[in-house]
Amino acid sequence: MAPDCREGHGDGQGSISSKEWMMAATTIEGRIPEALLAHMAALVLSPALPVAYPDIAFTPPAGPYLRVYFIPNGTERLFIGNGEPNLHQGILQVTVVFPAGKGAVKPNDVAGAIANHFGEGTKLAITGGFVRIDKRPSIAPAMQDTDRIQIPVSINWIAYI
């Protein structure tokens, strides 16, 4: 199950004026989501859509928006020696949420723009190394709710640190 994005009172524009999630992380477990979320915040869409970041207060609007989930996976030890790099991996999932009944083209176009932004080979620098997007993000079929459709974009990432 994906981590929850807390509901609350966001600014409605998806920007986090205080950049609450950018707190100069000191561990690999903090630096990885910090880099991925900063790259997500740099995404430019026209028109701009509000974004629900993990564990940041947000009130879903009546119109379209994006919901972000950071889903780390297991860490793998690659070498026998102590202090050698480990493989950290996981998924950044960005769900495109649109009102139902408006057609599939625009929500899929937004999903494609997200996939392009996190294109294969994207490298995000972090202290001690980088986070790399190792393949083109996967866009799942739309899931229909009563009044909305949701299209998950799964962005696989890896870091050898």
Whether residue 106 is predicted with pLDDT greater than 80 in this model: the reply is yes
Mean pLDDT, residues 61-90 taken together? 92
The answer to whether residue 116 sits within a structural domain is yes
Residue 3 lies in a domain: no
Whole-angstrom distance, CA of residue 139 vs CA of residue 145: 18
Domain assignment present for 65: yes
Percentages of the chain per state (helix, strand, coil), in multiples of 5: 15, 30, 50
CA distances from 77 to 80, 87, 127, 134 (A): 8, 6, 19, 18
Per residue in 115-141, pLDDT (tens digit) is 999 999 999 999 989 999 999 999 999
CB 115 within 8 A of CB 133: no
- Examine residue 44 and state whether it is found in any structural domain, yes or no: yes
Q: What confidence score (pLDDT) does residue 20 get?
A: 54
The SS3 of residue 70 is strand
Domain count, the chain: 1
* pLDDT for residue 104: 93
- The domain that holds 69 is classified in CATH as 3.30.2000.20
The boundaries of the domain holding residue 110 are 28-160
